[in-house]
């Protein structure tokens, strides 16, 4: 079994990208803080809300770039597809856990900046915005009343982990599926789905009643599946399991090309 070397390789391969990502995020906040002394009496504020949403996009892109190179390299070194898949699951879990903790550290770091910059720096995690806040809207602006506690920090990490896990598994499924496609299949897939979405949008414009019914159904489904933290975590875990299972079915017969 070569799971451990494969796991180390995959984690090492992602390390630089993760460090650059958080370095850029911190640099952006510090750059914004440079303008605060020159704000005067204006309403300039530095706000970080829901970094996990941005991290999810980053994780998705990383997953899209994490199959072909490592798959071909490890096959050449005698690592079986099964070992590669198991090591990928382990690497995905470790990286999502690390980034979930890093997201919360980033959020708390910005929250600490509110002491030297009172009423100018605000920071909320995505979990706080969705499940642990009172949303108010006045004068066209939206504000959050956050109920911060130790349990909120822990729940934020748990929430981020499961969300990132599902997003990462979905990105890996897409890149595995794309690898299995031949040249014309890739052209049809990547050019076909935008055309299909445009055609679907045009079709739905002619059936407003059906669109309203579909929106109501989607809202009800989201409320049922994502209405609380336990439900959200179970939904994300189920999606990650389904996406990973489909990735394995595509990967187990993938050939070198």
**pLDDT tens for each residue of 83-128:** 889 999 999 999 999 999 999 999 888 888 777 766 667 778 888 8
What is the three-class DSSP state of 136?
strand
Residue 163 is encoded by which pair of tokens? 């969300």
Please tell me the predicted confidence (pLDDT) of residue 125.
Answer: 83
Q: pLDDT above 70 covers what percent of the chain?
A: 87
Spatial separation of the C-alpha atoms in residues 185 and 199, rounded to whole Å: 20
Beta-strand relationship, 121-124 and 141-146: unpaired
Alpha-carbon dihedral angle through residues 167, 169, 175, 176, given to the nearest 10 degrees? -160
pLDDT of 160 over the 60 cut: yes
Q: What is the pLDDT of residue 173?
A: 94
Residue 257 has pLDDT above 80, yes or no: no
Please give the model's pTM, rounded to 2 decimal places: 0.84
Domain locations along the chain: 3-125+152-180+227-251
Q: Are 48 and 106 in contact (CB under 8 A)?
A: yes
Q: What is the mean pLDDT of the chain?
A: 82
Angstrom distances, CA of residue 63 to CA of 82, 121, 151: 18, 32, 30
Higher pLDDT, 141 or 3: 3
pLDDT at 38: 64
pLDDT confidence bin for 137, thresholds 50/70/90: very low
Residue 42's pLDDT band, with cuts at 50, 70 and 90, is low
Cβ–Cβ under 8 Å, residues 219 and 142: no
> β-strand 46-49 against 121-124: which pairing, if any?
parallel
**Whether pLDDT at 229 is above 50:** yes
């Amino acid at each position: 079994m070569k799971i451990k070397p494969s796991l180390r390789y995959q984690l090492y391969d992602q390390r630089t990208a993760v460090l650059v990502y958080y370095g850029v995020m911190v640099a952006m906040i510090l750059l914004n803080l440079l303008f605060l002394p020159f704000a005067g009496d204006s309403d300039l504020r530095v706000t970080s809300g829901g970094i996990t949403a941005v991290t999810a996009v980053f994780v998705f892109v990383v997953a899209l770039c994490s199959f072909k190179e490592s798959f071909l390299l490890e096959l050449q070194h005698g690592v079986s597809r099964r070992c590669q898949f198991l090591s990928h699951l382990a690497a995905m879990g470790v990286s999502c856990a690390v980034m979930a903790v890093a997201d919360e550290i980033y959020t708390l770091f910005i929250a600490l900046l509110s002491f030297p910059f009172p009423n100018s720096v605000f920071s909320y995690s995505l979990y706080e915005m969705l499940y642990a806040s009172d949303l108010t809207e006045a004068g066209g602006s939206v504000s959050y009343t956050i109920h911060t506690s130790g349990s909120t920090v822990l729940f934020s990490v748990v929430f981020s982990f499961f969300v990132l896990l599902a997003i990462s598994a979905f990105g890996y499924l897409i890149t595995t599926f794309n690898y299995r496609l031949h040249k014309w299949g890739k052209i049809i897939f990547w050019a076909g789905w935008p055309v299909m979405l445009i055609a679907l949008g045009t079709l739905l414009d002619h059936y407003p009643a059906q669109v309203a019914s579909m929106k109501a159904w989607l809202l009800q489904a989201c409320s049922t599946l994502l209405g609380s933290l336990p439900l959200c975590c179970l939904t994300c875990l189920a999606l990650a399991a389904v996406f990973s299972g489909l990735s394995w079915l595509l990967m187990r017969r993938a050939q070198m090309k």
